[in-house]
Amino acid sequence: MNIHLYLFLKLKGSMRVRDLNKVELVKQKAMELLVRIGFEGFTMNKLAKECEISVATLYIYYKDKDDLILQIAKEEAERMSNVMLEDFDPEVSFEVGLKQQWKNRAKCMLENKITSQFLEQLRTSTYQEEVYGTIVSNFKITLGKFMHNAIKKGEINDMQLEVYWSVAFAPLYNLVRFHFDGSSIGGRPFVLTDKVLWDTFELVLKALKK
Amino acid sequence: MEPDFKDILLFKTNIQTADDKNLIAKVMEKHKIKQWTIDQQDVDCVLRIVSPALKLEEVIHLVSKNGYQCEELI
């Protein structure tokens, strides 16, 4: 874990002690609060109250609200992108590689609901550029390489990265969104099952593979 | 490099506007205080200074002398 993640608790007088659990608590509560009330309504005071710590403790680690949001976002984006690359080899066949990607992404999002919703919210905010511009470069390189390998080997047609992403992953993201909402179009109840997930994957594979 | 946490000084102020901040910036420059930030989005306009040498009272005196409220953030 990152050293600057450690939070300090003020104990008797000026002695400050590291408390890792508290750091995780602050991160979790901050994301929950941001998802619940949005970037505008979020304040350091509200967060301190949620965590039952003093505002000063927050300011030891973060300069201001923007600094807090950006630090947490960068750490979480990095952590999530590492999980998404687990057991993934950009040299394998297109079908095997894409399947692994779906497996990793679904697991990652479903097991980290708050983080997923927080990062999704970030995507449509002014923080987007700073977070995604720098931190996830290894992720982009590996997945870019995978796509280019598939094109080179003649497994898929040559296409723009955006087109590829929209066909390859957007359906999965949308199913997860429905699942988190508990309902789909027109309020129909929806639960993402393994069958739905892998049936959709087969359709995506059919669309992309030559 | 990460600052040493005991070197972080925190204050509740009323340094609210861009003009206020400009004025404080000049004060900080004059006293060679380089690592400072103010969270003007926050209701307490938290002033945060990283310095191994400065004391709480010195900062409170300095800011107060220039016409702003300043007390330790607890």
The parent domain of residue A193 ranges over: 76-208
CB contact B52 to A (< 8 Å): no
Helices A170-181 + A94-111 axis angle, to 10 = 20
Closest-CA residue of B relative to A44 is: B42
pTM over 0.95: no
Q: Which of B5, B41, B42 sits opposite A60 (nearest CB)?
A: B5
Residues A32 and A136 placed together within one structural domain of the fold: no
Of A16, A45, A63, the CB nearest to B43: A45
Are residues A178 and A166 in contact, defined by beta-carbon separation less than 8 angstroms? Answer: no
Interface test with A, best of B1, B5, B15, B50 (most A CBs within 10 A): B5
Number of folded domains in chain A?
Answer: 2
The answer to whether residue A83 sits within a structural domain is yes
Number of H helices, E strands in chain B: 2, 4
Domain that holds residue B43: 5-72
Interface of A with B in 79-98 (CB under 8 A): none
Looking at the domain assignment, is residue A71 inside a domain?
no
Q: Enter the tokens of residue A133.
A: 């511009």
Report which of A182, A97, A189 is spatially closest to residue A143, judged by C-alpha positions: A97
| Structure tokens given for A108 | 């990652």
What rounded mean pLDDT belongs to chain B? 92
With 70 as the cut, is the pLDDT of residue A13 above it? no
- Interface confidence (ipTM) of the complex: 0.84
Assign A136 a pLDDT band (cuts: 50, 70, 90): low
Cα separations in angstroms, A30 against A1, A75, A112, A164: 18, 13, 14, 33
- For A78-104, letters b (16+ CB in 10 Å) and e give bebbeebbeebebeeebeebbbbbbbb
